[in-house]
Every structure is written in structure tokens, then in C-alpha cells.
């Protein structure tokens, strides 16, 4: 069994896995060789403002894993799905790894008493049909109530992880596992369609964890801090990392971060051990921490040890990076710390990131050319300039080609196309969805570039993953320009939604930064209120022309005339983009639907707009818009 990160790469820098390189094997090694070393730490803020630490050494972790795995082996067979429906906690981590130790397929989900996710939970459980549900005692009643409507024979068995005694572990039998076996199902966030379960193999997750460790240069002393939901791919891979490299991970709940982002910042800070710290978070977290996470006057904070903050899961904005860097530079934060990155569940998670010793690279391109599929560099102050943040370099043993999907032809650098991926870290496919698997995972790059191809050396010629994201290569850097399905087409012209959204939010301080959604709606599906308010627009049942709609959340504490805000937004969109926003709808904070990773769910937002839900003032309760409180 390999001992260090260097052992996994050959002399050419290619990742090499052996049959024994499974998560179960490496966790077992840590249990035996690092028994008294801290593995996981959870900060519970439910009773104490400063949090109560709950800690597990590798030996304690191993004892709990064997107990849960043995209990599962009593009631399941190898390959059965085991869903984790628990709150953010150490019980969640134990449940996830316990399912792997039993030889089951883990399905990381969430407790049904978490508001705002009920429909998603029903859809996912109906798709994966788990035999057993793992939860915690404090959520067990809610879990059992969730399944009560089902006939008794159709209800899965519910096991509370913290109610299983350690002694049960005496009967555990280590399962026979292969790299090609499915370890868990990672359900997509569902921003554009019904959630689908990506089959992540043992080889895929081991490879991707190693790619991430290698890319941000973690060592055995590196500590992680996460508040990301553990059912989300970025949160899950963070807690998987200690099995293969780095030191312990500190976990807190998303609500604990949202209410007091300074908690995350203080845990990232330097300690007497001098170890480097790292974390991953979506774009909004950096704006939120810069606004509400600063220490109080006179409070000590040293961030000089932070080696990397992966900024991913949604387009990275220059403003969020600038605000965060400006806020925490006085406390020792390096300008190279924020690492704009690219990833997706279908690739297990991690695809690319900015190198550790480099600051995030920002360039400006011509808006009209970008919408036409070309990357034309311009100065920042050029009219029509659009900022683009590099997502750095693709991880070792992973390939990203920019492709014209209609002809499967690789595009040269500087030309926009769909990002196609290749590598052993890719998922096997979507669970139970053969047609979707073929369309997404099993593609052939028919026409690679004869020279300078980014597909050169790719391992699987017929297993290219279509990401659904537009991107471009330029000067050795990967830029992600937007989602294919989210592209707004008005009057025959393409517009990237995040570009429209940025223009809207920059036009008025009355709008919440990062909480603006742009999409197009057929004219004959616009609400009656739009026609009533417009002197130049009349309803025509046959008019299906696409019209631009902007939905924006109001900023807290801003008492302004909404009519003036709407006029300002319309003027900004018209002058910058040459398009009329037919409706600018201002809604309360928390109204815009978002995915589990905090991204705007454009399709869900569009549907809520059309059916009138948004205009009715309904607010979402799903992550990340947790209410303020004293916790």
C-alpha cells in the first residue's frame, strides 16, 4: 500500500492506482498506524455560542465504523444502497464510511427535518430505493415519520448510528472491494433537471482525492475546515481527504456559518502547531465572510497559514475575491489564497484549480465576441468588457478539451465550446439511467486538434464526459464561461446569465450581491402583471418570442422606491447589453431557489416565476438562506 502522495504518481506525473487503493483500505491503515491521532472534529453551536468540540481519533473512528458496518451486514447484502439521512455531524461521517465498510453503496443525503428539501428527497429516494437508512437519534423520529405514508413492506429499515453499541463490531467482516466497484451515489444538485445519481467508484474517488491533494499541495499536517453540506460533493470530498492525506478536518453546520461566518474564519486561523489550513466554498461565502466575518476590534486573527481556499461550484466573481482579500489582508491573508476552481459531481468533484503559488488570474474580453463564441482580450475599461476568472490548470491525469458538440470537433485555444472531460476520476454513469449515461459519459472526440490538442494522452477514447458547461482554453488557463442550458437567447443573440446578473446587481445597492437571476421567458407566458404595467406590450397567444426577465432579492435595510430600482436596472441592462428587460421583479431575501451548493437554480427560478410563486412573495427555506439567530 502506498504511503505518500508521491507514491501514486509515476515519473511522467501520471496517476497510478493499485487494486488495494480503496478508501476502506486507507482508513484501516490510519486506524492502525495513526490510532491516537485526531481524525475528525465537529463544532456544535446548538448550546454554546463559541461551539462545543466533539472529536474522534482514528482508533475511535474505526471502532464506530466496524460497529455500523457489522450492523449493516446483518440486514443487507453487498451492493445494497444505504442512504444517510442525518444532520451535519460526526454521525453523518461515521454513517457514510460505515456503509462502505459494509460493502454497501452509500447514498449521502440529508435529514428530512431540514426545511426546503422534501421534494428532492422524495425524488432521490424513489430513484435509489435504499434498503437501509442511517440517521442519528435526534433525527430518527423525523426519518420514520417521513416513511410512514409508505406501506410497511416498502419502508426501509432505519438505524440510528449513535444507538449501535461498539460491541457489535466484533462480527464485522471486511468486504472484498475492487476499484471498479461503486462506492457511493452522488446526486447532482438539480439546478437544471431532476437529480440523477452519479455512480462514483472506489478508483474514481481515490483518484480525485489524490488529484485535489496534489493540486493544492497538501501535506500530512494540512488541516481542513468545512461547513459545506456533507451530502454535497464538495463537502463530502473534503471529509474524505484525511483518509489519503492531510491532517484532521473540522466540521460545522451550514447554518452555523451563515449566522456567524467569523466562526469559519477563526477555525482557518493559525494555531501554535503552524499547520497550513484549507477549505472549499462557493462564491457567495466569500462575500458573506467579508461583510460579516471580520473579527471584533482588538481581537487577534492570523490567517498567514491559510494555503488554499477553493472557490468553486458557481462562476467566480472578481468582486467577491476583491472584497474578501481586502477584508482579510490586514490579518495576514495571502493574495494567492483564493483558488478559483472548476468541478462537478460527474467528475467525482475536482477538475481544475489555480496553482498554490499563484494569485487568481483575471482577464477582460469583449462581450459581443464572447456571446458569439470568441474570446477577444480587451482592456478592463473598454466599453463592453467582461471580466473572466481563470479556473487554472486541469489536475494531473485528467484532460479537458473544448469541443463543438454537434461535430465532436475540438476547438482551438481562444474559441468557446463545450468542456469535455476524460480521466479515471470520472463517474461510471447515472444510476439506472442508461440513455442519459450514454449521452453524457460515453462520447467520442471524433476530431481532436492535429497540433496542440488538450486531448493528447487521454486514457479513454470513447469515454468523454460532456459537462454541459461552455469554456475556453487561453494561454494554458481554463476559463468556464457558463452553462449551456442557462444561456439566455433574446432577439437571436446569446447572453450569459451571470453577465446580465452582474450588470443588474452592480446598478443598485438595493439588490443583494449574488442573489440575482436572469432568464428568458416566452412572451405568451409572461404574467398578466407585466402586460398591465407596460404601455408598449400587449398579450398575443401566438407570440412565443423570448423576453428577458430579471429577478432580484432586495438588500436588507435598504428603504428605496422599488420603481426607481427597476428603472435603474433596466437602464443598465439596456446600455450594457442592448436588450430590454421585460420584467424586473424584486423579491424578499431568500426567495430565489438555489441548489445544495448555493448556486442559483435558474430552471427552478424560471418555473417559480411563470407559475406566480415568486411574485407571491414566497420565500425558500433551503440552504443557504438560513435565518439569522443567536446560534
Statement to judge: residues 118 and 141 lie in one domain: yes
Statement to judge: residues 563 and 456 lie in one domain: no
Judged against a pLDDT cut of 70, whether residue 115 lies above it is answered with: no
At 154-204, the pLDDT tens digits run 999 999 999 999 999 999 999 999 999 999 999 986 544 578 999 999 999
Is 186 among the domain residues? yes
Q: HSE (CB half, 13 Å, CA atoms) of 295?
A: 16
Confidence tier at 583 by pLDDT (50, 70, 90): very high
Confidence tier at 528 by pLDDT (50, 70, 90): confident
Question: Smallest Cα–Cα separation from 229: which of 278, 186, 192?
Answer: 186
Q: Is the peptide bond before 624 cis (omega within 30 degrees of 0)?
A: yes
Q: Write the CATH number for 372.
A: 2.30.38.10
Is 269 among the domain residues? no
Is 143 among the domain residues? yes
Judged against a pLDDT cut of 80, whether residue 316 lies above it is answered with: no
Task: Give me 66's grid cell.
Answer: 466496524
Across the range 227-253, mean pLDDT stands at 92
Judged against a pLDDT cut of 70, whether residue 313 lies above it is answered with: no
pLDDT at position 543: 73
Statement to judge: residues 401 and 378 lie in one domain: yes
Across the range 73-95, mean pLDDT stands at 97
Last residue of a domain, one of 456, 483, 510: 483
Judged against a pLDDT cut of 80, whether residue 614 lies above it is answered with: yes
pLDDT at position 621: 39
Across the range 422-429, mean pLDDT stands at 97
Is 286 among the domain residues? no
Statement to judge: residues 48 and 134 lie in one domain: yes
Is 231 among the domain residues? yes
pLDDT at position 192: 43
Statement to judge: residues 402 and 388 lie in one domain: yes
Last residue of a domain, one of 463, 483, 503: 483
Confidence tier at 622 by pLDDT (50, 70, 90): very low
Of 53-57, 65-69, 459-463, 588-592, the range with the lowest mean pLDDT is 588-592
pLDDT at position 57: 97
Is 177 among the domain residues? yes
Q: Write the CATH number for 190.
A: 3.40.50.12780
Across the range 376-399, mean pLDDT stands at 93
Distance CA 33, CA 306 (A): 27
Statement to judge: residues 443 and 510 lie in one domain: no
Is 499 among the domain residues? yes
Confidence tier at 533 by pLDDT (50, 70, 90): confident
Domain that holds residue 588: 488-610
Statement to judge: residues 402 and 514 lie in one domain: no
pLDDT at position 287: 84
Query: Distance of CA 296 to CAs 300, 303, 330, 444, Å?
Result: 9, 15, 13, 56
pLDDT at position 536: 64
At 262-273, the pLDDT tens digits run 999 999 998 877
The edge-to-edge listing of strands for the beta sheet with 477-483 is 409-410, 398-404, 417-423, 465-474, 477-483
Is 163 among the domain residues? yes
Statement to judge: residues 32 and 119 lie in one domain: yes
Statement to judge: residues 96 and 198 lie in one domain: yes
Residue 231 and residue 188 in contact, taking contact as beta carbons nearer than 8 Å:
no
Rounding to the nearest 10 degrees, give the CA dihedral for residues 88, 89, 91, 93.
80
Domains identified in the chain, total number? 3
- Between the ranges 110-114, 246-250, 529-533, 624-628, where is the mean pLDDT highest? 246-250
Indicate the pTM of the whole model: 0.84
pLDDT at position 596: 63
Last residue of a domain, one of 432, 467, 483: 483
Statement to judge: residues 398 and 540 lie in one domain: no
Statement to judge: residues 447 and 498 lie in one domain: no
At 55-69, the pLDDT tens digits run 999 999 999 999 999
Q: Supply φ then ψ for residue 82, to 5 degrees.
A: -125, 115
Q: Write the CATH number for 530.
A: 3.30.300.30
Statement to judge: residues 205 and 88 lie in one domain: yes
DSSP-H helix ranges across 76-189: 90-101, 118-128, 137-147
Amino acid at each position: 500500500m502506498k504511503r505518500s502522495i508521491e507514491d501514486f504518481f509515476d515519473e511522467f506525473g501520471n496517476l497510478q492506482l493499485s487494486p488495494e487503493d480503496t478508501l476502506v483500505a486507507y482508513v484501516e491503515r490510519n486506524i492502525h498506524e495513526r490510532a491516537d491521532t485526531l481524525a475528525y472534529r465537529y463544532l456544535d453551536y446548538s448550546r454554546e455560542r463559541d461551539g462545543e468540540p466533539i472529536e474522534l481519533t482514528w482508533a475511535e473512528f474505526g471502532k464506530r465504523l466496524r460497529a455500523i458496518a457489522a450492523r449493516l451486514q446483518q440486514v443487507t447484502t453487498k451492493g445494497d444502497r444505504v442512504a444517510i439521512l442525518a444532520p451535519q455531524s460526526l454521525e453523518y461521517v461515521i454513517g457514510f464510511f460505515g456503509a462502505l465498510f459494509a460493502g454497501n453503496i452509500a447514498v449521502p443525503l440529508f435529514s428530512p427535518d431540514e426545511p426546503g428539501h422534501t421534494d428532492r428527497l422524495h425524488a432521490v429516494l424513489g430513484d435509489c430505493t435504499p434498503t437501509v437508512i442511517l440517521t442519528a437519534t435526534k433525527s430518527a423520529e423525523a426519518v420514520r415519520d417521513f416513511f410512514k405514508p409508505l406501506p410497511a413492506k416498502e419502508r426501509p429499515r432505519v438505524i440510528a448510528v449513535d444507538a449501535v453499541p461498539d460491541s457489535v463490531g466484533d462480527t464485522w467482516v471486511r468486504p472484498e472491494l475492487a476499484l471498479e466497484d461503486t462506492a457511493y451515489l452522488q446526486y447532482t444538485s438539480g439546478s437544471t433537471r431532476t437529480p440523477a445519481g452519479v455512480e462514483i467508484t472506489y478508483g474514481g474517488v481515490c483518484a480525485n482525492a489524490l488529484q485535489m491533494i496534489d493540486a493544492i499541495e497538501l501535506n500530512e499536517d494540512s488541516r481542513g475546515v468545512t461547513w459545506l453540506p456533507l451530502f454535497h460533493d464538495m463537502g463530502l470530498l473534503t471529509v474524505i481527504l484525511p483518509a489519503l492525506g492531510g491532517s484532521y478536518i473540522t466540521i460545522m453546520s451550514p447554518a452555523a456559518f451563515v449566522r456567524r461566518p467569523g466562526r469559519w474564519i477563526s477555525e482557518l486561523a493559525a494555531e501554535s502547531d503552524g499547520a497550513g489550513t484549507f477549505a472549499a466554498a462557493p462564491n457567495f461565502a466569500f462575500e458573506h465572510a467579508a461583510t460579516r466575518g471580520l473579527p471584533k476590534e482588538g481581537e487577534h486573527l492570523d490567517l498567514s497559514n491559510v494555503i488554499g481556499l477553493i472557490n468553486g461550484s458557481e462562476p467566480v466573481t472578481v468582486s467577491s475575491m476583491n472584497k474578501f482579500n481586502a477584508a482579510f489582508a490586514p490579518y495576514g491573508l495571502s493574495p494567492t489564497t483564493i483558488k478559483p476552481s472548476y468541478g462537478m459531481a460527474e467528475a467525482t468533484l475536482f477538475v481544475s484549480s489555480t496553482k498554490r503559488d499563484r494569485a487568481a488570474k483575471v482577464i477582460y474580453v469583449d462581450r459581443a465576441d464572447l456571446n458569439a463564441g470568441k474570446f477577444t482580450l480587451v482592456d478592463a475599461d473598454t466599453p463592453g468588457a467582461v471580466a473572466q476568472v481563470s479556473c487554472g490548470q486541469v489536475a494531473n491525469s485528467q484532460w479537458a478539451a473544448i469541443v463543438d458538440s454537434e461535430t465532436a470537433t475540438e476547438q482551438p485555444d481562444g474559441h468557446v465550446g463545450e468542456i469535455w472531460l476524460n480521466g479515471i476520476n470520472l463517474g461510471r454513469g447515472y444510476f439506472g439511467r442508461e440513455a442519459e449515461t450514454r449521452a453524457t459519459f460515453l462520447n467520442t472526440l471524433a476530431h481532436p486538434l492535429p497540433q496542440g490538442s488538450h486531448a493528447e494522452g487521454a486514457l479513454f477514447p470513447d469515454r468523454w464526459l460532456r459537462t454541459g458547461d461552455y469554456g475556453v482554453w487561453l494561454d494554458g488557463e481554463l476559463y468556464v464561461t457558463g452553462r449551456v442550458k442557462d444561456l439566455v437567447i433574446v432577439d437571436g443573440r446569446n447572453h450569459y446569465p451571470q453577465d446580465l446578473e452582474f450588470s443588474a446587481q452592480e446598478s443598485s445597492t438595493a439588490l443583494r450581491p449574488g442573489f440575482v437571476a436572469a432568464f428568458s421567458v416566452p412572451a405568451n407566458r409572461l404574467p398578466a402583471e407585466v402586460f398591465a404595467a407596460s404601455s408598449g406590450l400587449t398579450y398575443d397567444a401566438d407570440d412565443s418570442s423570448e423576453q428577458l426577465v430579471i429577478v432580484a432579492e432586495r438588500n436588507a435595510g435598504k428603504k428605496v422606491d422599488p420603481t426607481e430600482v427597476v428603472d435603474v436596472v433596466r437602464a443598465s441592462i439596456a446600455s450594457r447589453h442592448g436588450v430590454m428587460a421585460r420584467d424586473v421583479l424584486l423579491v424578499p431575501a431568500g426567495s430565489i431557489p438555489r441548489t445544495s451548493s448555493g448556486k442559483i437554480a435558474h430552471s427552478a427560478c424560471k418555473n417559480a416565476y411563470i407559475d406566480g410563486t415568486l411574485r407571491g412573495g414566497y420565500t425558500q427555506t433551503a440552504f443557504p438562506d438560513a435565518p439569522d439567530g443567536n446560534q
